[in-house]
Structure 1
């Protein structure tokens, strides 16, 4: 049977007499003019429609109540979401949006489907209090449910809060990026204050929850691929994962050839792991054998694994390989979830013509009209010179560039060389300038007592264009506050697995090919031959691009290639670790929040009376 707080129907005289007696005999009223007795008796009055005036009363109380902070599990976004909650109900005239007096509305059913499957998006289902929602739904709208307007409004408000939380998690992430990384990384603001409310209100009114959630998700191909990867690794975890390797037992393992590894006790374990990861191809219903023979098939499987984990592709079982093999399926699943979270920190669109620089995976890719047209290996900053993560627009190319040595490098690296003396600076085509009261003048480095110099602020060091220039023959400029750019390099270490070797800028293996592509719209003036000639001319010149390319410098330790293979990279800057620690702590706090949340709902009727 359904019930309503107040009714306009006729009742039998006996029942009406009881109600009138209680109304006129009570003198204790709440600030809305209702007595406690009125409220208690009112729940017995049958009705199938919601009284809009009373719904407004309860909605305003529930939204403004102090305990409304318990609607939102994340303290970092709580104030923002509380504001959105109020704006949502203000837009909806403080009426229930998800439930009628008798049913769960269609948008609500759609929303619950997403909340219950939040894990498929790399999120924590526990953050959305589904058990509490189900419990109250059943008490109100189940077979034996009893209508209770305050409780219904509280359920509606709580459902809205969970919808806002899920949308915020899906679009902007569970944590803010500046909680994880260094201060040089620059991130976009994901929501304007009104956007979230407008989108959700429209979705509920027009029953298009699917559309708003799809729109809230990162609009990148990689995100969709990682959703498939998460499904695969969840299945592996559910099936028990793969065999474990105890690194403590094999710390001193040093094997230089595959021949030496033959008949090793670890061979069956490695075969088991690679069969689970898909690197060892098995026929249908074939089971990985337990022999200790390191055969060609296993050797190729190891190479496949090495390729997917940013390792030297030599088929040799090294300590670095064992570390990656010892990483459990659960840890890989977490790594995928962390990278899905980082995708939410990027801008809503990568652009039409863009370049992605993936720092830990050491590659740069150019996309033209959404299609990948160029890729090259890169070197990035060492851990203490971390390449910053940000987005900016490439504007021009510099051919035969000079290198203006940054002050920090001049002080920490060049000054010790100057103190040692020798011909380093002349051999490497450096010019040194001194600032004086009369202006700036070039000096002979041997004319200065560098041991007496403590600060390089009055000196500038410039490496002229040429074969020894640290920037090589070309650089690509996308002006930014970090003074980071992409450039050529005389270094030849691109075959190394670990290429975190620079001072923070991005070194390219094939910069000439990138220049040829970027300047193809100027090919009547800048042919490949002319570009090459200018690169080696020694005369510095800038070429501004007709089309501006958006450059995204990202930190993806997990990505999926065109063949659907999941790749993993080392956490070279420790962002995975820091992010995981924050989320682990957040999940622990979530459990405490859930206890408060459940207790608050259990005490709902008592609190309702106190509020009045």
Structure 2
């Protein structure tokens, strides 16, 4: 008989009774599993078809575990903890028929495994949100033996630990979620009033309220550095001794700069329109941002190799995690909102030194052809050659530029080439790559979505030489480029590369950085994450 609670019985007596009950129920449970998922069938096969949910203590552990998923940004109600708890009361009596008890047994297991799969791999299918999703590495299979043992030992926390992505960024997002929910419980922060003019050094309007807001942000605390953040702890919000807290002074200006850097805003120390908007984002929205980026982490953070290149699209940063544990970082420029850099996972195979640039169809149609129609001299200034589809040179004067047909435009190699002097290649369906650029000035901007989809990398020569060194490729990148020869140079061993989109990112010290949603992807993901689960 399933689910027979025995109040007052010893653990030994409960175990002995459970063994008798299990033997009675295994044939019925085995038959009922025929219509269940392969995962549930494998789980009960692992248990030799022993029921898992036999007593009140185990049910309480399951319910508590499902409710704890709130700490991972998931919605506990999706997994019906209240229904599991209520239904147990109605089927635990010895008079409840076996079919009803088996139905309950499978319902409880189904909810548990749905929750564990969502915790491990994400609730939302990223392919349903973006056709350009190209990250083929999936999470490993759940360890059914370990889950079965954890249930029997009533060590439910162990199941959650095993299912979560086992990487530090996820844990830091989880910790950040707890901190921001604590801020929410304390009332959040008050909005700063809209202003006709910027708030700056010397002003005294709304300054006390600004101090309070930056105090909650953690950038006014004593000893705060330029790397401070909203997560660094509570701060007094008081001006230094002897200073007037109602006046915008140099210390407050420095705190505003710290806040601006953290949110990828121009760090001018002035509370203008963009900074005011970032300060006034309510804590509830920040919590949602953390939750949806935890979902993105569940899509991605599986099976990361020892060494890899990570392109943080929304953060405009490339990080190369080297085999020796060192992390090399660089600023990048990514695709404009209407020419988005895709999310993908691939492997760097080779580099092109002194590349030519065959102008892609979209750029040709939208950018280059209009320029050529205005002034044919554009081709000579940009060192662009006109070719037939088979690669034969064409006379630009003989081309009908209003209806050019299937021509190919190719820019000659050199420092002014759109790809600069180096491109780092990896297979993908979107024809994107990392590359150099003659427009070095754009790297000094704080928001850098200017490209046509590919990723421009500051100091790409330094990255290339490290990749050669770390993959046992005997190459001198400077010598290759200085030769002036256009050539593909292979890596001796491929290097994994990941392009991904994070609008909240934990720094090395655990502080959270909030970024503008340049591709406007957050709201759609949040809607799907919060959509009630249909079972």
Q: TM-score range by the shorter chain?
A: 0.7 to 0.9
The TM-score with structure 1 as length reference comes to: 0.76
Q: Find the partner of 2:211 among 271, 274, 278.
A: 271
**Which residue pairs with 2:464 in the alignment?**
515
Match of 2:134 among 179, 186, 192: 186
Matched, 1:55 2:6: no
Corresponding position: 1:490 with 2:443: no
Which deviates the most, 350-359 or 518-527? 518-527
List runs of 5+ in structure 1 lacking aligned partners: 5-46, 66-80, 594-612
Moved more, 115-124 or 499-508: 115-124
Q: Take 1:53 and 1:568, find their aligned partners in 2: how far apart are those partners? A: 55
Q: Deviations for 1:234-276, whole angstroms, at most 9, x for unmatched residues?
A: 1001111111245xx43xx343x8236x112x32222221111
How much has 1:156 moved relative to structure 2?
A: 2.5
**What residue number does 2:516 align with?**
570
Equivalent position to 2:422, from 459, 463, 474 = 474
The answer as to whether partners of 1:400 and 1:541 remain within 8 angstroms in 2 is yes
Cα shift readout 1:170-191 (whole Å, capped 9, x = no counterpart): 011111112222x122133636
Give matches, 1:224-263, under 5 Å. Answer: 224-245=171-192, 249-250=194-195, 253-255=196-198, 258-259=200-201, 262-263=203-204
Deviation at 1:372, TM superposition (A): 4.0
Q: 2:352 aligns to what SS in structure 1?
A: strand
Shift of 1:521: 4.9
Alpha-carbon spacing, 1:485–1:48, altered in 2? closer, same or farther (3 Å): closer
Would the alpha carbon gap of residues 148 and 282 (structure 1) be closer, same or farther in structure 2, given more than 3 Å must change?
Answer: farther
Is the Cα–Cα contact under 8 Å of residues 354 and 367 in structure 1 kept in the other structure? yes
Once the 2 structures are TM-superposed, how far is the Cα of residue 282 of structure 1 from its aligned partner?
Answer: 5.6
For residues 160 and 399 of structure 1, do their structure 2 counterparts lie closer, same or farther at Cα, with a shift above 3 Å needed?
same
* Equivalent pair of 1:170/1:216 in contact (CA under 8 Å): yes
Distance in structure 2 (CA, Å) of the matches to 1:508 and 1:473: 12
- Cα deviation digits, residues 210-244 of structure 1 (max 9, x gap): 44432321122100111111111110011111112
Give the structure 1 partner of residue 259 of structure 2. Answer: 305
Aligned-pair Cα RMSD in Å: 3.1
Using the alignment, how far apart are the partners of 2:115 and 2:235 within structure 1?
40
Distance 1:48 1:473, change over 3 A: closer
Selected match of 1:292 from 218, 222, 246: 246
TM-score, length of structure 2 as denominator length: 0.86
Q: Does 1:558 align with 2:504?
A: yes
Shift of 1:351: 0.8
- Name the CA distance, whole Å, in 1 between partners of 2:324 and 2:171: 15
Secondary structure of 2:134's partner?
A: coil
**How many residue pairs get matched?**
507
How far apart in 1 are the matches of 2:306 and 2:238?
46
2:471, 2:493 within 8 Å by CA — same for their partners in 1?
no
Confirm or deny that 1:446 pairs with 2:397.
Answer: yes
Distance (whole Å) between structure 2 residues aligned to residue 525 and residue 61 of structure 1: 63
CA deviation map 1:324-376 (0-9, x unaligned): 11111111111011000001111521211101100011000000237342100
Give the secondary structure class of the aligned counterpart of 1:446. helix
Tell me whether 1:411 sits opposite 2:365 in the alignment: yes
* 2:315 aligned to which of 343, 351, 361: 361
Match of 1:12 in 2: none
Alpha-carbon distance in 2 for matches of 1:329, 1:189 = 34
1:285 Cα shift? 8.3
Alpha-carbon separation, structure 2, partners of 1:204 and 1:580: 32
Tell me the CA shift for residue 93 of structure 1: 4.7
Q: Distance in 2 between matches of 1:3 and 1:239?
A: 42
More helix by share: 1
Q: Aligned partners of 1:521 and 1:497: how far apart in 2? A: 30
Q: Is the alpha carbon distance of 1:568 and 1:169 closer, same or farther for their aligned partners in structure 2, counting shifts above 3 Å?
A: same
- In the alignment, is residue 331 of structure 1 matched against residue 271 of structure 2? no
Work out whether residues 201 and 253 of structure 2, in 8 Å CA contact, stay in contact via their aligned partners in 1: no
SS at match of 1:292: coil
| Residue 580 of structure 1, aligned match among 515, 526, 530 | 526
Cα distance per residue 1:272-293 (max 9 Å; x no partner): 2111121221698845479431
**CA offset at residue 445 of structure 1?**
1.4
Is the CA contact 1:177–1:187 (under 8 Å) kept in the aligned structure 2? no
Instruction: From the superposition, tell whether residues 468 and 83 of structure 1 become closer, same or farther in structure 2 (CA, over 3 Å).
Output: same
Distance 1:147 1:362, change over 3 A: farther
SS at match of 2:248: coil
Are positions 1:88 and 2:37 aligned together? Answer: no
* Matches for 1:387-398 after TM superposition, within 5 Å: 387-398=341-352
Query: Aligned partners of 1:504 and 1:328: how far apart in 2?
Result: 32
Q: CA deviation at 1:146?
A: 5.8
Matches of 2:246 and 2:384, distance apart in 1: 58
Check if 1:157 corresponds to 2:138.
no
Aligned counterparts, 1:95-174, within 5 A: 95-99=50-54, 104-105=57-58, 111-138=62-89, 148=96, 150=98, 152-174=101-123
Q: Distance in 2 between matches of 1:358 and 1:158?
A: 40
1:221 aligned to 156, 165, 168, which one? Answer: 168
Q: Distance in 1 between matches of 2:386 and 2:416?
A: 16
* Distance verdict in 2 for CA 1:372–1:429, change over 3 Å: same
CA, structure 1 residues 177+399, in 2 after alignment: closer, same or farther (shift >3 Å)?
same
Q: Which residue of 2 aligns with 1:426?
A: 380
The 3 A distance-change label for structure 1 pair 501 and 407 is same
How far is 1:204 from its partner? 4.1
Structure 2 residue runs of 5 or longer lacking an equivalent are: 5-16, 224-233
